[in-house]
């Protein structure tokens, strides 16, 4: 398992050297959020502290979320299971093929092609937002899951008893492949100079789907989707926050956050969450002045080593991305180490895992804080892109001439960002508190252990606020 | 802790937070009535080229017909396909007018993102922009074909 990070680095470096990009490094949206003003930063930071201490004093003394019965809750909607599953799967596969086709055959102007906006805005940010309310939506629409299941059903019918059983998924691998997948995706989005190139994105999407099909055929669809498929795993984590969930063709209610305590912690889960938080942090960090002054120096160093300007910059950004991810991981482990000092016999690594689920709302809060404006603004681009997906002047739905309406002011975006971070913090706190009550028999020890977790969370939330504020000015 | 105490503590926290928010927001409005009108300042300049002021000396051929243009219109000079002195900053308050001129030694199309304004500039020519700052945010101004950012337009609320 030690070898994995090194392998990751190596893979990224080879990728960085091998794949020169063509597209410019400017943004897809062409608009950035204004940094949050100082007063709002100060207020939010104070609010985080007040909420934390009030929570410590007033939160329930007996675990609550841990004991929620998943089959409880009210039934909101019931659909015939198989037809619904097939319909969603077909929609997912068709959408995937349309995006890939548009990317390859359409115009290579990134803003006029359906591909980049669909991948970076609708898929990467849209699914987490939907998951927050409706649970794991992606599971139903995942193109590779649909193909995998259809293929499995077909094979079962033809082969009958002779169909080979899937291999046993190595327990040690856990969610490490998903962590690696998110890291590589983030690398493409934030570092690679060809990040918005429609045809390159299409080929990468095809490559990723092919990899998933191989993985599913080896280890079984369900195992692969819940362990190794980066997007399947990440979006499922976000879906566990939701007050709704799908179960056997039924949409049922449940208390907010109650899907998270049942998260089975396997190796790589903490790493995955640190990658998710760390990469979003780097996205904010790389826009600020600290990084703008650091990056050229780093780039110069790599140019001196014989790299071209472009590759040197990519390498500098790669280093930045990895450093931030490691810092996030380090901060979390520091909190866990502190918690161990309270007592108890749990090992550090195991303890880290027991609290991993409390990072999920914080990770989603980061996503919302950084990308909510891209969904609200660039998301509207979908209205004209679906009418003219290839950018060749067609107008299927008569909406090709629409433009983006900047209907929310910068002030509105600020409040959304701060609200997301503060609520994410509170949610993480509640989850950690609940888990501590289970782990520590004495309520006093639980509270003491919570000081550490609280410090970690205040750290993450302050980092998130800082990334949105002064450092960007 | 009794339920009543718990409730009182939560209520107190809510009052403090809401009150704090109102005070902080109000206090800021008075203290920072930020610079109105447009100003251009050289930032993000590379370390090797310390603060080359772009506007001095090179007065752009006046394209505007307005008789009294109060502040000098910021000029972005593009030499060799790159902006002199790095990416230029143009700062405007929402509702004011954004004005700037681009003088370029390469032919290209100037694109103001977000506002989606595009104007062609000939080799050695110049082009002026004047439009109301309706959308807040940070926008790129770039040489569209070359894909080079030449300015950053910052519209604050």
The stretch A399-415 carries a mean pLDDT of 90
In 3D space, the residue among A422, A288, A454, A287 whose CA is nearest the CA of residue A355 turns out to be A454
Interface mutation target, options B8, B9, B13, chain A, most CBs of A under 10 Å: B13
What local confidence, expressed as pLDDT, does residue A320 receive?
95
| Alpha carbons B24 and A43: distance in angstroms, whole number | 7
For the ranges A152-156, A355-359, B94-98, which has the lowest average pLDDT? Answer: A152-156
* Residue among B13, B20, B148 whose CB faces A54 most closely: B13
Question: Using CB atoms within 10 A of its CB, is residue B82 exposed (0-12), middle (13-18) or buried (19+)?
Answer: middle
- Map residue B126 onto helix, strand or coil: strand
CB pairs under 8 A between A and B: 83
Partners of B76 in the β-ladder: B102
At residue B153, does pLDDT exceed 60?
Answer: yes
Contact (Cβ atoms closer than 8 angstroms) between residue A181 and residue A211: no
Report pLDDT digits (tens) over B32-89.
444 444 444 433 333 333 333 343 334 444 444 445 545 678 889 999 888 998 889 9
What local confidence, expressed as pLDDT, does residue B48 receive?
35
Interface mutation target, options A110, A194, A378, A410, chain B, most CBs of B under 10 Å: A410
Partners of B121 in the β-ladder: B108
Q: Alpha carbon B64 to chain centroid distance? A: 21
Give the model's confidence band at A344: pLDDT under 50 very low, under 70 low, under 90 confident, else very high: low
What local confidence, expressed as pLDDT, does residue A340 receive?
84
Note whether A43 contacts B148, CB cutoff 8 Å: no
Residue range of the domain that includes A330: 3-472
List all residues 6 or more positions away from A277 whose beta carbon is below 8 Å from its beta carbon: A328, A359, A362, A363, A366, A460
Give the model's confidence band at A244: pLDDT under 50 very low, under 70 low, under 90 confident, else very high: very high
| Alpha carbons B76 and B99: distance in angstroms, whole number | 11
What local confidence, expressed as pLDDT, does residue A471 receive?
56
- Map residue A101 onto helix, strand or coil: helix
> B89 to chain A nearest CA, in Å?
12
Give the model's confidence band at B5: pLDDT under 50 very low, under 70 low, under 90 confident, else very high: confident
Vertex B64: Cα angle to B62 and B69 (nearest 5): 95
Note whether B156 contacts A292, CB cutoff 8 Å: no
Pairing verdict, β B148-156 and B88-93: parallel
Give the model's confidence band at A15: pLDDT under 50 very low, under 70 low, under 90 confident, else very high: very low
Q: What share of chain A is helix, strand, coil (3-state, %, to 5)?
A: 70, 5, 25
* Residue among A24, A34, A51 whose CB faces B137 most closely: A34
| Alpha carbons A126 and A122: distance in angstroms, whole number | 4
Please check whether residue B6 touches A, CB under 8 A: yes
The stretch A297-313 carries a mean pLDDT of 91
Structure tokens at A206: 């095809």
Note whether A57 contacts B9, CB cutoff 8 Å: yes
Identify the H or E element spanning B137: strand B137-143
Residue ranges per structural domain of chain B: 1-33, 39-156
What local confidence, expressed as pLDDT, does residue B28 receive?
63
Give the model's confidence band at A10: pLDDT under 50 very low, under 70 low, under 90 confident, else very high: very low
| Alpha carbons A79 and A76: distance in angstroms, whole number | 10
Give chain B positions within 8 Å (CB) of A111. none
Q: Is the ipTM of this complex over 0.90?
A: no
At residue B24, does pLDDT exceed 90?
Answer: no
* Residue among B44, B135, B154 whose CB faces A292 most closely: B44
Q: At what angle do helices A309-340 and A3-18 cross, to 10 degrees?
A: 160
Give the model's confidence band at A346: pLDDT under 50 very low, under 70 low, under 90 confident, else very high: low
Structure tokens at A454: 């609280």
Q: How many domains does chain A have?
A: 1
Instruction: Tell me the CATH number of domain B39-156, given options 2.60.120.1090, 3.40.50.970, 2.60.120.10, 2.60.40.420.
Output: 2.60.40.420
Strand order in the sheet with A244-247: A75-78, A250-253, A244-247
Report pLDDT digits (tens) over A351-393.
889 999 999 999 999 999 999 999 999 999 999 999 999 999 9
Strands (E), A144-206: none
What local confidence, expressed as pLDDT, does residue B29 receive?
54
Structure tokens at A118: 């669909």
In 3D space, the residue among A318, A235, A321, A314 whose CA is nearest the CA of residue A278 turns out to be A321
Give the model's confidence band at A248: pLDDT under 50 very low, under 70 low, under 90 confident, else very high: confident
- DSSP 8-state code for residue B113: T
Give the model's confidence band at A32: pLDDT under 50 very low, under 70 low, under 90 confident, else very high: confident
At residue B17, does pLDDT exceed 70?
Answer: yes
What does A66-78 look like in DSSP terms, one character per residue?
A: GG--TT-S-EEEE
> What is the overall mean pLDDT for chain A?
88
Give chain A positions within 8 Å (CB) of B33. none
Q: At what angle do helices A38-58 and A410-439 cross, to 10 degrees?
A: 20
At residue B31, does pLDDT exceed 80?
Answer: no
Please check whether residue B47 touches A, CB under 8 A: yes
Phi-psi label, residue A268: left if phi above 0, alpha if psi -120 to 50, beta otherwise: left
> A445 to chain B nearest CA, in Å?
17
At residue A345, does pLDDT exceed 70?
Answer: no
Contact (Cβ atoms closer than 8 angstroms) between residue A270 and residue A180: no
What local confidence, expressed as pLDDT, does residue A200 receive?
96
What local confidence, expressed as pLDDT, does residue B40 receive?
46
φ, ψ at A78 (rounded to 5°): -130, 130
Q: Taking the CA of residue A464 as centre, how many other CA atoms within 13 Å lie in the half-sphere pointing to its CB?
A: 32
What local confidence, expressed as pLDDT, does residue A447 receive?
79
In 3D space, the residue among B30, B84, B22 whose CA is nearest the CA of residue B57 turns out to be B84
Q: State percent of chain A over pLDDT 70.
A: 92
- DSSP 8-state code for residue B131: E
At residue A20, does pLDDT exceed 60?
Answer: no
In 3D space, the residue among A441, A453, A421, A449 whose CA is nearest the CA of residue A41 turns out to be A421
Who wins on pLDDT, A30 or A423?
A423
Contact (Cβ atoms closer than 8 angstroms) between residue B50 and residue B44: no
What residues of chain A, 21 to 60, have a C-beta less than 8 Å from chain B? Answer: 23-24, 26-27, 29-34, 37-40, 42-43, 46-47, 50-51, 54, 57-58
The stretch A432-441 carries a mean pLDDT of 87
Q: Helix (H) and strand (E) counts for chain B?
A: 1, 10
Note whether A39 contacts B113, CB cutoff 8 Å: no
What residues of chain A, 104 to 133, have a C-beta less than 8 Å from chain B? Answer: none
Who wins on pLDDT, A206 or A22?
A206
Give chain B positions within 8 Å (CB) of A54. 9-10, 13
| Alpha carbons B92 and B114: distance in angstroms, whole number | 15
The stretch A346-354 carries a mean pLDDT of 80
| Alpha carbons B16 and A271: distance in angstroms, whole number | 37
> A306 to chain B nearest CA, in Å?
20
- DSSP 8-state code for residue A356: G
Note whether A50 contacts B16, CB cutoff 8 Å: yes
The stretch A279-286 carries a mean pLDDT of 92
């Amino acid at each position: 398992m030690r070898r994995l990070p090194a392998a990751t680095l190596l893979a990224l470096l080879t990728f960085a050297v091998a794949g020169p990009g063509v597209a410019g490094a400017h943004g897809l949206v062409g608009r950035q959020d204004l940094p949050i003003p100082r007063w709002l930063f100060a207020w939010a930071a104070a609010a985080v502290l007040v909420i934390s201490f009030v929570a410590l004093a007033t939160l329930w003394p007996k675990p609550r979320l841990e004991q929620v019965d998943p089959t409880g809750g009210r039934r909101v909607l019931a659909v015939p299971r198989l037809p619904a599953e097939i319909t969603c799967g077909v929609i997912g596969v068709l959408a995937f093929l349309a995006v890939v086709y548009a990317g390859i055959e359409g115009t290579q102007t990134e803003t006029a092609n359906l591909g980049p906006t669909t991948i970076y805005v609708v898929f990467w940010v849209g699914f987490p937002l939907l998951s927050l309310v409706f649970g794991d939506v992606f599971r139903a629409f995942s193109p590779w899951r649909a193909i995998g299941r259809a293929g499995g059903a077909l094979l079962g019918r033809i082969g009958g008893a002779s169909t080979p059983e899937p291999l046993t998924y190595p327990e040690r691998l856990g969610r490490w492949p998903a962590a690696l997948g998110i890291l590589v995706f983030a690398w493409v989005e934030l570092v690679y100079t060809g990040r918005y190139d429609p045809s390159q994105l299409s080929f990468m999407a095809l490559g990723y789907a092919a990899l998933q099909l191989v993985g599913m055929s080896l280890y079984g669809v369900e195992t692969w989707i819940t362990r190794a498929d980066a997007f399947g795993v990440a979006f499922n984590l976000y879906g566990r926050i939701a007050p709704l969930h799908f179960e056997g063709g039924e949409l049922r209610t449940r208390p907010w956050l109650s899907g998270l305590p049942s998260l089975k912690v396997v190796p790589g889960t903490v790493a995955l969450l640190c990658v998710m938080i760390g990469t979003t942090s780097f996205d904010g960090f790389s826009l600020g002045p600290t990084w703008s002054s650091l990056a050229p120096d780093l780039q110069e160093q790599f140019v001196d080593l014989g790299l071209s300007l472009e590759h040197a910059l990519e390498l500098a950004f790669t280093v930045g991305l990895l450093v931030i991810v490691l810092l996030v991981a380090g901060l979390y482990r520091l909190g866990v180490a502190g918690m161990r000092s309270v007592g108890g016999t749990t090992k550090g690594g195991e303890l880290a895992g027991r609290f991993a689920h409390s990072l999920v709302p914080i990770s989603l809060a980061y996503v919302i804080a950084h990308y909510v404006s891209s969904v609200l603004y660039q998301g509207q681009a979908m209205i004209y892109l679906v009418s003219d997906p290839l950018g060749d002047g067609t107008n299927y739905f008569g909406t090709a001439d629409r433009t983006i309406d900047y209907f929310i002011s910068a002030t509105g975006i600020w409040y959304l960002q701060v609200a997301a971070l503060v609520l994410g913090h509170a949610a993480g706190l509640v989850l950690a508190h609940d888990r501590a009550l289970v782990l520590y028999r004495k309520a006093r020890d639980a509270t003491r252990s919570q000081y550490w977790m609280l410090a970690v969370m205040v750290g993450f939330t302050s980092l998130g606020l800082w990334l949105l504020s002064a450092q960007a000015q | 802790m009794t339920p009543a105490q718990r409730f009182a503590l939560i209520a107190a926290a809510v009052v403090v937070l809401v009150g704090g928010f109102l005070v902080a927001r109000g206090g800021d409005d008075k203290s920072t009535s930020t610079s109105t009108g447009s100003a251009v300042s050289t930032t993000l300049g590379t370390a090797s080229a310390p603060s080359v002021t772009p506007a001095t000396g090179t007065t752009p051929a006046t394209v505007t017909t307005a008789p009294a243009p109060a502040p000098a219109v910021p000029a972005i000079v593009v030499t060799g396909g790159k902006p002199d002195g790095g990416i230029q900053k143009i700062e405007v308050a929402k509702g004011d007018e954004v004005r700037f001129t681009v003088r370029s030694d390469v032919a290209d199309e100037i694109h103001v993102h977000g506002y989606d304004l595009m104007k062609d500039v000939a080799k050695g020519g110049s082009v002026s922009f004047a439009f109301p700052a309706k959308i807040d945010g940070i926008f790129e101004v770039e040489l569209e074909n070359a894909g080079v950012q030449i300015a950053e337009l910052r519209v604050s609320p």
